[in-house]
Chain A
Amino acid sequence: MIDKTVPSLSAAVADVHDGATVMIGGFGTAGMPSELIDALIAQGARDLTIVNNNAGNGEVGLAALLKARRVRKIICSFPRQTDSYVFDALFHAGEIELELVPQGNLAERIRAAGAGIGAFFTPTAYGTPLAEGKETRLIDGRGYVLEYPIAADFALIKADKGDRWGNLVYRKTARNFGPIMASAAKCAIAQVREIVALGALDPEVIVTPGIFVQRVVAVDVATQRAQPQAAA
């Protein structure tokens, strides 16, 4: 019997190695798998490359991972926020490397990795500083920039419900990067609010089919509610 559920958050992230590339879902705090990140902090892996849209809010979740000095490099589109002071300090001190990627390129590069696409041409950033040094091409008179996929060793994502085959559904805009990050990582780990019986998820509405997911771990709802909400 196939059972991708794991008994604990710590078991879910036990084999994340030093130097790993780890995608972390979420847009701000919506969809951020804070409990998995806390487990990763406790686990101790360091020298990580993190892929996320932002660079942490306040001192919870991704910001806490940065504060614990576990991250060598972050690939993101929008690090600077009103409450990104942990990242800001590390950046100004030269203690973290930043690869800034336009948000659509970030999403498409992740999608490309999951879809087996070797590279793609996109008009985004053509003629701007973020395309400097990159291969460009005129296609039908329009300028395009060559972009390469972003793959990961692990993806930590947050979904609403999952089953033992790894099928997932999400909740509202917390979906954001979850489905594409699951497809782009060798090992996708989903924390869910609830693990449901196989067959309980309507096959017509499953968003991430289990083939993209390696581990599912339930998070106690009471724990989630206790998490402080960062300001917008």
Chain B
Amino acid sequence: MKRFSREQLAARVARDIPEGAYVNLGIGLPTTVANHLPHDREIFLHSENGLLGMGPAPASGFEDPDLINAGKQPVTLLTGGAYFHHADSFAMMRGGHLDICVLGAFQVSVDGDLANWHTGAKDAIPAVGGAMDLAIGAKRVFVMMDHQTKSGASKIVERCSYPLTGVRCVNRIYTDLAVIDVTPEGLRVVEIVDGLAFDELQRLTGVPLTLAGADSAAGAGRRTVTLSER
């Protein structure tokens, strides 16, 4: 069985982001989706610290400490981009103005509950940032994560054991093994990596899955999401 690499996963998520979308990419793995956005689409990247129309990292030596992203890394502003204060920035997020946000996760439940901010460990210092605002605010919430933990447990679960970030908020899960939609009827597999049978995916996942049509990575890969889809 081949798994999606991190790069392939980022490219796969990028393919589902349409022209004209207002998008927030979470810190960490989701940030790498930006490197794969097609150049022929105008897509507006939002960063919660207060910019819209975020561009790539500057060339070495051109960093500006006043121009950073939510991960506090130096970035650039595209022509036509804008700066704004925090209440406006979070109004964009909480007010339902973002079309898509992409977040990492520890766990996602069959109902679309998300756990991604805290392991619950007693000695851990909790930090939440804007994760809860993105989870409930964006029109569509994409999660990208490994399908399993390092010990082989499924990260898609019946009920999250980690503290929740948001309730019933995830729309689509991208893992190194599959692309799965969270629907009112349950988890629906829309794509599986080459060489992995549905039954085997089901066994590795541990919660009930259904197969959408007769999909394979080759066939379903061409499917794209439109903004009107919810």
Contacts and interface: CB of A to CB of B under 8 A. Distances in A.
Interface of A: 27-31, 53, 77-81, 87-88, 91-92, 98, 100-108, 110-111, 122-130, 143, 170-180, 207, 229, 232
Nearest to B94: A104
B127 A127 contact: no
Interface string B46-84: 011111000000000000111110011110010000011
A123 B90 contact: no
Contacts of A107: 86-87, 89-90
Interface stretch (B149-157, B160-168, B193-201, B222-230): B160-168
Interface residues on B, range: 35 or more
A80 B124 CA distance: 9
A111 B66 contact: no
Interface of B: 47-51, 64-68, 71-74, 77, 83-87, 89-90, 93-94, 113, 118, 123-133, 136-137, 163-167
Contact of B94 (A98, A122, A232): A122
Nearest to B168: A127
Contact of A79 (B84, B125, B166): B125
9 contacts: A77-B128, A80-B126, A107-B89, A108-B94, A122-B94, A124-B132, A176-B85, A176-B86, A232-B73
A176 B164 contact: no
> In terms of DSSP, what is the predominant structure of the interface of chain B?
loop
Given A128-B165, A180-B85, A180-B86, A88 B72 contact: no
Contact of A28 (B68, B90, B132): B68
B167 A126 contact: yes
B5 to A, nearest CB: 25
A172 B94 contact: no
B129 A78 contact: yes
Contacts of B128: 77-78, 100-103, 130
Contacts of B86: 27, 53, 103, 106-107, 110, 176-177, 180
A128 B163 contact: yes
A27 B68 contact: yes
